[in-house]
Structures are given as C-alpha cells and as structure tokens.
C-alpha cells in the first residue's frame, strides 16, 4: 500500500486472507452476515455499474439513503471507481436537498424509494443524469441494475490529491459549504488513528453511528476496514440492543448523546463491558459528569477526540497509559503529523493556558470548499493554517481544551445546526418580522435548539404552528425544541441581537 493511492486499494488490502470470514453482521433487527467477499463483490458490481454510466471524470455521486451495508458498499464502490462520494442526511427535506444538488451538480443521485417522486424531480431539473433507489431492505433500482454487472473490478488509479468525497458543513452566514476531502486526507488520517488507537487482530467494532458524517463514515468504518475487523452494524442507535452486543465486541464509537443514553440503561455495567477495549467519544463536547459516570459504571475511561469535516481528526486523548492519562474536559494531544496551534487576538501563538483560535495544518486538512475559492481563502491564515472556528487552549501538560466557538453554531446530539439557516426559514414565514435561534444546555442532546420569534406589526403568531411549519420544511434535528413568540429581541448599542442574553434567559429551559 502507498499513501499515494486510491483509498479503496488500502482498505481492500486490509481484508483478511480468508474472504469468507464475516465482515459485517447486522443487529437491532434482522440479522444478516456479510462476508469480506460480499463487500468485495458488492462494491465491484456497483463500481462496474457506475463505470458503465459514462460519467465525466470527477463526477459526484450523491447518496441520501438510510443506513445499510449496501449503502456502505456504494461508498466503497464510488471510491473504487474513482468518483466523488457525497453523503446526505436522510432527514433532509426538499429545500435542503435542492441546495446540495444545485451546488454539487452530481451526475448520480441515490435515494430511498419513498423519496423518489420529489427527489427525482429536483435532481432531473438540476440536470442529474441518473437517479437510482436504494432501501435498507436490499431493494431498489441500484441493486437491481448492479446485479447484472461483473463482480470483479480493477480500482481506478487515484493519487493522494484526488477528491474522494465532499461533505457539506457550516454555513454560518447561510450557505452550506462542501468540504472537499482527498484520498490522501482520508487515508493518512485513517492510518494515524489505526496506530494511535491500537487497532489489533480480533477487534470487533459496534457501529451505531450514521454513515453520512465524518464520525461514522470515516473514523468508524475506515478504522474497522483498515484493520480487517468485523463490524456489528446497527441501522439506528438502540441503546439496549447496543449494550446486548458489547460482550461480543471490543470497540465502540459514539457522540456524547449516545453515552448519555447508554448510561440511562441499567444494563450498562462493568460486566457488560468486560470484553471491551476502547470507547471513543467525539463530535460534540463531552460533559465531565458523563465522563466520570461512565468510568464509575463500566470501569472504562472514555477516550475523547476532536475533529471536523474539514480536517478529519486533529487531536486525541492517549490510548496507551504510557503516553498519558485520558483527561476529561480535554480533547487530548495533536495527532502525530498534525499541527495544532492556538493564536490570540493579536495573531500571536498563545502560551499554554491562554485562550485563542484553534488552527490546524497537516495531511488531514481538506482541499478547500467546493467552488468557493474566496471562502476557502478566508478560512486559512496567510501562512497556510486552517482556522477551525473553535476557541481553545493548551493546558499545562499539552492537552487541548476546547472552550467555545467563534462560529455561531449549535451542536445538538452531534449534529450541527446553523442558527442563521433556521432563522432564514423562520423569517420568510408569513407574519414573522424577525427571529433569533440559539442553543441552551439539554440533558440528552447536549445543546437543544431554541427560537424566539417577533411577529410583524399587527399580527399574531402561534408557536405550535411555526414549529409544525418548520417540521414540514427542514430536517427534524434543526427544528427548535422550544419556540417563543416575543415582542422584541434584546440588542446591544450597535443593534446586534444579544444571543448571550437569550441563552442566559432560557438557561434552565430543559432542566439540564
């Protein structure tokens, strides 16, 4: 394997000698066992189907499907055939999908059959040539068509700088940006994590994360695949069922909400976790009480790491005790080969203990935002460091501590919500003069989305109807859990809405 290769070649090269061994076992519903040969053949047939479509070089393949092993095979097939994978949260609705399809101009869209009628209209209108369906019960036109393809396929030659995936993220001022990740970005990060987290023969990963974000698609799946490790595969995170499967596994990865929900189950005991080697947490801040309670209940210390779509993983707490303890409230040390620095307001590199902007450099850092060269430039310093938008510091022992965010972003249950986007949808509703969206502590989701809305002069608004209207337009996780109709918004002398005042006023809303 070389670092300058198609990522698929590296993943395929790690498959065990005996391809008839189980690779993935589905859980939480029907139990199906997929062998390594199934992954190889399935991804070859899908890659051959893509190759038969005569797509232009660099074509994007967008997938808005439920989680399934076949959806993972589709991702592998896109890599294998040398195209660019564009995963989309199945919770996205019409307006959201329309933006991504117009912006990314995919050549192929794969969606669930139940969404085909509206999604295909959007896609064909935007000039997409091929729309296939794929469901989580192995049905759909994608597999029907792939069934006629040969089950062998030579991976397309790709080099480290070639694009492998686009992940849509951010959009602080409204527009979501497509982070372009290369084969080299993904492979270098996966190899680093394999080494850092001590992946070893016999490991079994419980995979219960969604596969349209960095955490589930790259960190978790690449981790297992690159180690030739079996996965116990949950289409949906089901805490009780996950605990039932821990005795047959060694590694679990989750967002803090998943740990909160696991801890809510009496079945989460030391005995249930006896065979486990590693629990990783990331994507959102992990509360100290979750960290402490998990250790008390299970005897395991959560390993917290820090990442983002644009940079993959940047830092990690140590796996090996020789390298240091896992410190709650920190996200650990910069990963080997990854430069992380903190700069103060004057642009100087801050000494330990001082808070500033977290910036990153390394082979993990993305190739820029899709068709947004100016935006890309803005988010890099003149000396080539990517500005994460997170605020933090190094502690006295060199661990990175995240203390806040410069970007106006809410992270709820590991999903990012951009207040400006939700405000945009609210403000265009009839009788809404203006709105403010913000996050407050939530016992389950970490942060819960809240909105305050001002009606236009002489009109009345009703919170329930506004929430229902939003639910009909945008993904459920973005919809405020609480919405208040108010007369005006608190503003500072400059006329800027004071979200800190709103957050303070509603601090105890969810009893967190």
Own/partner contacts of 95-98, CB < 8 Å, gap of 24 or more, are 95/425, 95/473, 95/474, 96/474, 96/475, 97/64, 97/122, 98/122, 98/126
**CB nearer ligand MLC, residue 216 or residue 362:** 216
CB 112 within 8 A of CB 64: yes
Supply the DSSP string of 141-173, one letter for each residue: HHHHHHTTS-S--PPPP--TTSEEEEEEE--TT
> How far apart are the C-alpha atoms of 130 and 112, rounded to whole Å?
14
CB atoms inside a 10 Å sphere around CB 456: 11
What residues from 53 to 82 belong to the interface with ligand MLC (CB under 6 A)?
Answer: none
**Minimum distance from residue 306 beta carbon to ligand MLC (Å):** 6
Q: Which does 390 bind (CB under 5 to 8 A by kind): ligand MLC, ligand AMP, none?
A: ligand AMP
| Strand ranges for 284-421 from DSSP E | 303-308, 312-316, 333-334, 339-343, 356-361, 386-394, 400-405, 410-412, 415-417
**Minimum distance from residue 4 beta carbon to ligand MLC (Å):** 26
Query: Rounded to 5, what percent of the chain is helix, strand, coil?
Result: 30, 25, 45
Q: Residue 27: in which H helix or E strand, if any? A: strand 22-27
Among 334, 414, 419, 439, binds ligand MLC (CB under 6 A): 414
**Minimum distance from residue 299 beta carbon to ligand AMP (Å):** 22
Q: Which does 461 bind (CB under 5 to 8 A by kind): ligand AMP, ligand MLC, none?
A: none
Among 413, 419, 439, 480, binds ligand MLC (CB under 6 A): 413
> How far apart are the C-alpha atoms of 158 and 282, rounded to whole Å?
30
- For the CA atoms of 144, 149, 152, 156, the dihedral, rounded to the nearest 10 degrees, stands at -100
**Minimum distance from residue 494 beta carbon to ligand MLC (Å):** 32
**Minimum distance from residue 429 beta carbon to ligand MLC (Å):** 18
User: Of 288-296, 367-375, 410-418, 419-427, which segment contacts ligand MLC by CB under 6 A?
Assistant: 410-418
**CB nearer ligand AMP, residue 77 or residue 312:** 312
Q: Which does 304 bind (CB under 5 to 8 A by kind): ligand AMP, ligand MLC, none?
A: ligand AMP
Residue with tokens 């506004």: 466
Q: Which does 169 bind (CB under 5 to 8 A by kind): ligand MLC, ligand AMP, none?
A: ligand AMP
Q: Which does 209 bind (CB under 5 to 8 A by kind): ligand AMP, ligand MLC, none?
A: ligand MLC
**Minimum distance from residue 175 beta carbon to ligand AMP (Å):** 14
CB 80 within 8 A of CB 43: yes
Q: Which does 476 bind (CB under 5 to 8 A by kind): ligand AMP, ligand MLC, none?
A: ligand MLC
Q: How many residues bind ligand MLC (CB under 6 A)?
A: 21
Q: Which does 402 bind (CB under 5 to 8 A by kind): ligand MLC, ligand AMP, none?
A: ligand AMP
> How far apart are the C-alpha atoms of 78 and 74, rounded to whole Å?
6
**Could you say whether residue 235 binds ligand MLC (CB under 6 A)?**
no
**Minimum distance from residue 480 beta carbon to ligand MLC (Å):** 10
> How far apart are the C-alpha atoms of 366 and 75, rounded to whole Å?
19
Residue with tokens 């996950």: 242
List Cα–Cα distances, 291 to 87, 301, 431, in angstroms: 31, 7, 45
**Minimum distance from residue 311 beta carbon to ligand AMP (Å):** 8
**CB nearer ligand AMP, residue 163 or residue 219:** 219
In this structure, are strands 108-111 and 60-64 parallel, antiparallel, or unpaired?
parallel
Q: What strands, in cross-sheet order, belong to the sheet with 432-442?
A: 432-442, 446-455, 482-485
**Minimum distance from residue 271 beta carbon to ligand MLC (Å):** 24
Residue with tokens 């023969």: 201
**Could you say whether residue 477 binds ligand MLC (CB under 6 A)?**
yes
**CB nearer ligand MLC, residue 228 or residue 254:** 254
**Minimum distance from residue 238 beta carbon to ligand MLC (Å):** 8
**Could you say whether residue 257 binds ligand MLC (CB under 6 A)?**
yes
Q: Which residues bind ligand AMP (CB under 6 A)?
A: 169, 214, 282-285, 304, 306-309, 331, 388-390, 402, 405, 411, 416
CB 119 within 8 A of CB 111: yes
CB 422 within 8 A of CB 351: no
Q: Which does 445 bind (CB under 5 to 8 A by kind): ligand AMP, ligand MLC, none?
A: ligand MLC
**Could you say whether residue 326 binds ligand MLC (CB under 6 A)?**
no
CB 91 within 8 A of CB 68: no
> How far apart are the C-alpha atoms of 505 and 199, rounded to whole Å?
46
**CB nearer ligand MLC, residue 213 or residue 367:** 213
What residues from 439 to 458 belong to the interface with ligand MLC (CB under 6 A)?
Answer: 445
Altogether, the residues listed in the chain come to a count of 512
Among 8, 36, 234, 237, binds ligand MLC (CB under 6 A): 237
**Minimum distance from residue 246 beta carbon to ligand MLC (Å):** 17
Binding site for ligand MLC (CB under 6 A): 209-210, 213-216, 237, 255, 257-258, 282-283, 307-308, 412-415, 445, 476-477
């Amino acid at each position: 394997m070389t670092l300058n290769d198609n990522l698929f070649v590296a993943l395929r090269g790690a498959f065990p000698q005996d391809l008839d061994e189980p690779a993935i076992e589905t859980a939480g519903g029907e139990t199906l066992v997929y062998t390594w040969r199934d992954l190889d053949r399935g991804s070859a047939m899908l890659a051959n189907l893509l190759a038969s479509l005569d797509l232009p070089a660099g074509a994007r393949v967008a997938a808005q499907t439920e989680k399934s092993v076949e959806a993972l095979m589709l991702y592998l097939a896109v890599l294998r055939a040398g195209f660019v994978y564009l995963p989309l949260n199945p919770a996205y609705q019409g307006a959201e999908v329309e933006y991504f399809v117009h912006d990314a101009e995919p050549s192929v869209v794969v969606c669930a059959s139940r969404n085909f009628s509206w999604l295909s209209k959007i896609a064909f209108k935007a000039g997409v040539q091929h729309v296939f369906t794929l469901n989580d019960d192995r049905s759909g036109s994608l597999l029907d068509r792939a069934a006629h393809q040969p089950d062998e396929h030579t991976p397309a030659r790709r080099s480290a700088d070639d694009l492998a995936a686009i992940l849509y993220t951010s959009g602080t001022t409204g527009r979501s940006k497509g982070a372009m990740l290369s084969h080299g970005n993904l492979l270098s990060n996966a190899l680093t994590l394999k080494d850092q987290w001590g992946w070893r023969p016999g490991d079994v990963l419980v995979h219960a994360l969604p596969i349209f974000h960095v955490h589930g698609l790259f960190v978790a799946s690449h981790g297992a695949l690159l180690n030739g490790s079996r996965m116990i595969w949950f289409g949906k995170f089901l805490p009780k069922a996950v605990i039932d499967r821990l005795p047959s596994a060694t590694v679990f990865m989750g967002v803090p909400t998943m740990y909160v929900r696991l801890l809510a189950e009496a079945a989460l005991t030391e005995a249930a976790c006896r065979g486990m080697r590693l629990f990783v947490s990331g994507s959102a801040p992990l509360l100290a009480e979750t960290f402490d309670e998990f250790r008390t209940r299970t005897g395991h210390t959560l390993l917290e790491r820090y990442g983002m779509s644009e940079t993959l993983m940047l830092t990690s707490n140590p796996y090996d005790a020789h390298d240091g303890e896992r410190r709650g409230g920190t996200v650990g040390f910069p990963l080997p080969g990854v430069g992380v620095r903190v700069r103060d307001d004057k642009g100087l590199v801050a000494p330990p203990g001082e808070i500033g902007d977290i910036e990153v450099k390394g082979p993990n850092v993305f190739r820029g935002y899709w068709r947004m060269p100016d935006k890309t430039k803005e988010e890099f310093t003149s000396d080539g460091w990517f500005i994460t938008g997170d605020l933090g510091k190094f502690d006295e022992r060199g661990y990175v501590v995240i203390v806040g965010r410069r970007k106006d972003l809410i992270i709820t249950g590991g999903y990012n919500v951009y207040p400006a986007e939700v405000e945009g949808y609210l403000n265009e509703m009839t009788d809404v003069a203006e709105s403010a969206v913000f996050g407050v502590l939530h016992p389950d989701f970490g942060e819960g989305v809240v909105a305050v809305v001002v009606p236009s002069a002489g009109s009345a608004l009703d919170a329930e109807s506004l929430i229902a209207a939003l639910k009909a337009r945008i993904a459920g996780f973005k919809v405020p859990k609480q919405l208040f109709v108010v007369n005006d918004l608190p503003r500072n002398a400059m006329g800027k809405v004071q979200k800190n005042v709103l957050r303070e006023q509603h601090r105890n809303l969810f009893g967190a």
